[in-house]
Amino acid sequence: MNTHHQLGVNTANTNKSVEKLFSSFRINCADCNASGVTGAAASTVDGINISLQTTADAAIQTINTAIETVSGERSKLGAYQNRLDHTINNLGTFLENLSAAESRIRDVDMAKEMMNQTKNNIHSQAAQAMLAQVNQQPQAILQLLREFLNGYKL
């Protein structure tokens, strides 16, 4: 029972750690708008002019920067997810090992109690056998005396 309590405490600590991990998590994009484009490009996204090579190159650069930002944040999220998956797997392994250890302890206790019961049964049977022999000895002595006395009467 205590082991389950300790597991609950560890799980609660893990949950607190995860909360701390994600409480400070945010995409570093202070001036992002809904489209995710930042800076001066944010004001010109709706009216991008791609008729000139230079403005088309600038638009492509803005899009590439946005893609890089999103990719970077996705990789961070992937790393967080991997860490969480690893923690979940470790907790699962811990729980499995804990259950196996508890089972071994219970099995040992059961085997010990069965051994004690068998020992007590053997002692009880031996005591009964000795008592039966002790009760038969006076009868055997009386029988010998009767035979001895009957032998002199003849």
Over the stretch 53-90, which tens digit does the pLDDT of each residue have? 888 888 899 899 999 999 999 999 999 999 999 999 99
Instruction: Supply angle C-alpha 99, 102, 105, rounded to 5.
Output: 150
Mean pLDDT of the chain: 78
Q: What is the pLDDT of residue 132?
A: 86
Does residue 119 lie in a domain region? yes
**Residue 109 is encoded by which pair of tokens?**
């206790």
Model's pTM, two decimal places? 0.42
Does residue 149 lie in a domain region? no
**Cα-trace Rg, the chain:** 43
Does residue 28 lie in a domain region? no
**2-23 vs 53-153: helix axis angle to the nearest 10?**
180
Does residue 62 lie in a domain region? yes
CA distance 49 to 46: 9
Q: What is the pLDDT of residue 43?
A: 47
Does residue 70 lie in a domain region? yes
Helical H segments across the chain, by residue range: 2-23, 39-44, 53-153
Confidence band, pLDDT 50/70/90 cuts, at residue 1: very low
Question: Among residues 100, 30, 40, 43, which one has the least CA distance to residue 69?
Answer: 30
How much is the average pLDDT of 126-148? 86
Confidence band, pLDDT 50/70/90 cuts, at residue 148: confident
Residue 9 has pLDDT above 70, yes or no: no
Give the number of other Cβ atoms within 10 Å of residue 109's Cβ.
Answer: 10
Does residue 143 lie in a domain region? no
Dihedral through CA 21, CA 26, CA 28, CA 33, nearest 10?
Answer: 170
Number of domains into which the chain is organized: 1
Q: Which tops the pLDDT comparison, 111 or 8?
A: 111
Range of the domain at 86: 54-123
Residue 47 has pLDDT above 70, yes or no: no
Local structure of 43: helix, strand or coil: helix
Does residue 71 lie in a domain region? yes
Residue 5 has pLDDT above 50, yes or no: no
Does residue 151 lie in a domain region? no
Q: What is the pLDDT of residue 10?
A: 56
Question: Among residues 85, 88, 96, 87, which one has the least CA distance to residue 3?
Answer: 96
Highest mean pLDDT among 15-24, 27-36, 51-60: 51-60
